Structure 1
């Protein structure tokens, strides 16, 4: 059991038989009434994120989620295959288990695969990934000083807003939590 006062980003809890990860939390002490904890929690299996408030001091079941470093190999239809880098064992995950993580996956990329009760339930991406720009409008001379942005399609099919000086073939760093452009590599 874990108290809601001990909730932190990344902690996994079990609520109504489902496993959730705390994405964001805030302890609120209103001037009138009891204190509470406002959280954003993500359903590990479906990827759905929603807000939920808990009374301060409320007890929750802590979900023991094991994380294992694995390498993404390939996809076949809506099944994605990952390999344990130590035992070379391969495990399949279906598209529904991965949520938005599919947009950031490249072959041979290392990710954390999460297991709950011995069953794989999803993946945890690194904080940022480096992807190549495959399609974007060309920047024109003088555009770089304006600080504008334009859409760019990356090698995985993800579309992000990038500065005007980014061209096709450039490799950029993208934040996997927000899906925003960070820098050119």
Structure 2
């Protein structure tokens, strides 16, 4: 058993005989009253995302997650295919199961597969990935590096706010935890 205040993004817990993965978690202290834990959790089986609140002292059953090194191979319809690098088994996850993580997937990318009781439940991305800018507006004359930035669409469809000097075709380092621009590659 673990208290909800100890939950972190990516952890898996059992609640009502259903497995949930923590997507986002915030401590919320209203003006009056006790602190609450606001969470976005995903049902591992159905992929449904639920916004919920819990008391910090509430207890849930933490589930042990087995992690295996893997490689993203390709998309097949509305699913993505991964290969376990140890035994070369292939696994498929639907785009709904992947959620926003699918926007970071590039062919041959190395990542981690998460399993519970031998069943695949999701992936763990590296902290940063290298992506190519598919489209962005040209630099505006007189714009500075410290300017507000502009949107850039990556080759996977992910939209990231980047500095004004970035142009189409540039390779960038993107943070996967908050979809932010880190640097040029």
Answering whether residue 39 of structure 2 is matched by residue 43 of structure 1, we say no
C-alpha change, 1:31 and 1:94, in structure 2 (3 Å) is closer
TM-score w.r.t. the length of structure 1 is 0.84
Partner of 1:132: 132
The equivalences for 1:89-168 within 5 A come to 89-145=89-145, 147-168=147-168
Aligned residue-pair number: 182
Structure 1 range deviating more: 133-142 or 40-49: 40-49
Offset at 1:27? 8.1
CA distance 1:44–1:123, shift in 2 (3 Å): farther
Once superposed, what is the RMSD of the aligned Cα atoms? 2.5
Structure 2: how far apart are the matches of 1:75 and 1:22?
23
Matches within 5 A, 1:69-80: 69-80=69-80
Retained in 2: the 8 A contact 1:22–1:39?
no
Residue 21 of structure 1 corresponds to 22
Structure 2 length-normalised TM: 0.84
Partner of 2:182: 182
For structure 1, which runs of at least 5 residues remain unmatched after alignment?
none
Specify the SS of the correspondent of 2:96. Answer: helix
Q: Measure, in 1, the Cα distance between the counterparts of 2:73 and 2:150.
A: 32
The CA deviation at 1:172 is: 1.0
Describe the superposition over 1:89-133 as per-residue Cα deviations: whole angstroms up to 9, x where unpaired: 111112121111111100010111111221112112122211011
Q: Which runs of 5+ in 2 are unaligned?
A: none
* Displacement after TM superposition at 1:54 (Å): 1.8
Cα 1:47/1:65, change in 2 over 3 Å: farther
Cα deviation, residue 167, structure 1: 0.9
